[in-house]
Structure 1
Amino acid sequence: MMLLRLSTLALSRSRFALSPLAETLGSMMVLGKPCTDPWLASWHARHHGAFRAALEVDPFAEGLVRLLGSTKWLPSHVAIPPPGGMRTTLEDELAQVTRAPDEEVRAELEESVARSWKQHDLDWLTGRGWAARTADLLHYTWEAHVASDWPRRRALLERDVTYRAGLLAAYGWPRALQHMSRRSAWVGEDAIRFSDQAFPDRVVGDEGMLFVPVSVLSSGTWLCEAPPTSYALVYPARGSADGAARTRPARSLERLLGTGRAAILHELEHPATSSEIAAHLSLSLGTVGGHLTILRDADLVVGTRVGRRVVYRRTETGHLLASRGKD
């Protein structure tokens, strides 16, 4: 079992972050193989063919994607803690990717091969400048298959952070980490169980852990490391990369409340801010605010301040109404 050990100071400084690189890496691994998650089917169908065509003309890209999608060890030059917190940019992350020397890249890829559940070789690892070539592949994947959907994905990821930050404020880290993944859990007072694999424990530095949601994962996590003591845990956000998979409220609920208010009450199955609701439903902030006022006056939703944000959730009455109104 592998533990991430945190001092009291590290625990107090742990926080959430966003990573366009992690989102791109996850998307790359999903697009590299047949789709197994129904909620990703529409996005996967739109992008899989073009992505596979790009790999077929580049043996380096083909070999790398195949390896990354079937190993328990992601190379350190692609699994890096996001440097800018919630404002991290892909450009900043790719700049870090390109710095890895070829010797380090090869050593990490050999470790990935050793910890893969499939047979691999590194015959495709030819020439030089492998970190830069990896960055080019990630940049292509971002531009062609992720960037156009990033505003919606970012809203989904920020919503997950809002939800967990609310749990953190109310109950502490053990509750905020609950259900992040099947294997991760709080152990004792100062450690997070990351893996059942026999890896050495890690000691998190005084700057604390980063927790990074990704929208294209349905399960599993990965650890980002920046020696000696900087770590980030990437985990599946509560949602999907495929906006088309979102369901709509029941017609009976729409007839009772109106289409907009019914959509918001339906959306608040998971707590969210007004900005997150507006982004997810493609409504103006003013429209959402007006609907929330009416829903709040009707005792169907309630708002709670978490830091600078007001997070809305259903009341018990609102939850019962939304649940009974399902088709």
Structure 2
Amino acid sequence: MITIKLSTDDVSRIRFAFSPIWETVTSVRALSNNTVSSVHGPWLRKVRPIAAGDDLTLLRALIPPVGYIPDFITPAPPRRSTSFESGLAAIAATPPELVVSEITKLQEENPHPLLPELIAKPAHAVTRINEALQSFWQRTLEPDWRRMRALLQDDLAFRLDELASGGLDRLFRNLHPSVRFTGDQVEIERPFYCCNGVPLHGQGLLLVPCVFTWPASLGVTAAPHVPTITYPPRGLGRLWESGKDTTDSPLADLVGRTRAAIVGHLDLPMSTTHLAHQLDVSAPTLSVHLSILRAAGVVDSRRDGRTVLYHRTSLGNHLLAASSPTELASAAPTSLATSA
């Protein structure tokens, strides 16, 4: 069991964030540990023919199938959502002595012939690592990042609602079965990976939903980094599903094919631009349909920073389930993000 002690200041600095860098790093492990019959099967079938390369060879040396991962390659996002480029910049700024220390620890636990080269030249190692991350990201994850980002945004919205409704007790009670909050500490049973180190007081606690943490369940990062718990986001099973075909459904007969298709594609949040592209509908036309669906109570909206989030209501879920009862009898509320 891992215990993270929390001071009053730490509690006041608990926050959520997600990062494309974290997803890239954990996807390398998922590529080694998952099968096409797993929840990530559709992604694996797509990327395995194009995944191999020198970049993957280097990344697999740093990210073994089990055990420790050097924490400097998963830097703490400074904001709730950050870009891939900012993550690379954070890795590039890692002090050379920390690079050497963490890769040496990895070499002791999971020896690999490439690691001594990285230890010998830490500045060059960081450049090589960033180049490998970027090329692997562009080839295997960037095409699906909008969809992944939407799922992560949806999870954060749910967690913040939990916090607002029931405080930290409710937040941690529903975060993951292996996580418990006792008022002055967080206890984590059986994390899949954890660095050796005691979390430092005063840094707060970072909670990071991460698509490719599954099926590992949990990861924990400690000193000298920001204490971090990584967990699978809510609704992960929906990630690689495509929008439901509602063309000849009873819902299409009721509200029209375009509006039925909009409801069917709200399995995850997405921008109006992305949805308009998928449905071959102009953004202004889509906005009109969304307004009508909102007025009818089929979708609703809320603001999240500079973004307006549209989500399917219970009525929308029931209408969609009635059109496809064997597939969506237990449909869960989801969201659609549109630019403000």
For 2:228, the aligned partner's letter is: A
The answer on 1:218 being equivalent to 2:214 is yes
Shift of 1:172: 2.6
> 1:192 maps to which residue?
186
> 1:94 maps to which residue?
88
User: Where do 5+ consecutive residues of structure 1 fail to align?
Assistant: none
The answer as to whether partners of 1:77 and 1:131 remain within 8 angstroms in 2 is no
Equivalence map 1:230-309=2 (5 Å): 230-238=226-234, 245-248=241-244, 250=246, 251-266=249-264, 276=271, 279=274, 282=278, 286-304=284-302
State the distance in 2 between where 1:96 and 1:179 align. Answer: 31
Shift of 1:248: 0.4
User: Where do 5+ consecutive residues of structure 2 fail to align?
Assistant: 326-340
Shift of 1:240: 5.5
Give the match's secondary structure for 1:299.
Answer: coil
For 1:321, the aligned partner's letter is: L
The answer as to whether partners of 1:71 and 1:112 remain within 8 angstroms in 2 is no
Shift of 1:65: 0.9
Shift of 1:82: 1.6
> 2:112 maps to which residue?
122
The answer as to whether partners of 2:243 and 2:267 remain within 8 angstroms in 1 is no
For 1:296, the aligned partner's letter is: R
Equivalence map 1:1-327=2 (5 Å): 1-32=1-32, 35-36=35-36, 38-52=38-52, 54-55=53-54, 62=57, 64-65=59-60, 68-83=63-78, 85-100=79-94, 104-105=98-99, 107-109=101-103, 111-112=105-106, 120-127=110-117, 128-129=120-121, 130-177=125-172, 179-183=174-178, 185-196=179-190, 202-205=199-202, 208-219=204-215, 220-225=217-222, 227=224, 230-238=226-234, 245-248=241-244, 250=246, 251-266=249-264, 276=271, 279=274, 282=278, 286-304=284-302, 311-327=309-325
The size of the alignment, in residue pairs, is 311
Deviations 1:87-131 (A, max 9, x none): 52333322332455666445434544666xxxx433332333333
Give the match's secondary structure for 1:202.
Answer: coil
Distance of aligned partners of 1:304 and 1:51 in 2 relative to their CA distance in 1, 3 Å threshold? closer
Give the match's secondary structure for 1:97.
Answer: helix
- Please list every run of at least 4 consecutive aligned residues from structure 1 whose deviation after the TM superposition is greater than 6 angstroms: none
Shift of 1:276: 4.4
The answer as to whether partners of 1:224 and 1:233 remain within 8 angstroms in 2 is yes
Deviations 1:296-320 (A, max 9, x none): 3333344456676655445444433
Shift of 1:187: 1.7
Deviations 1:263-291 (A, max 9, x none): 44445567x5xx64664574655444433
State the structure with bigger RCO (CA 8 A, min sep 6), 1 or 2: 1
Give the match's secondary structure for 1:159.
Answer: helix
**Aligned alpha-carbon RMSD (Å):** 3.7
> 2:338 maps to which residue?
none
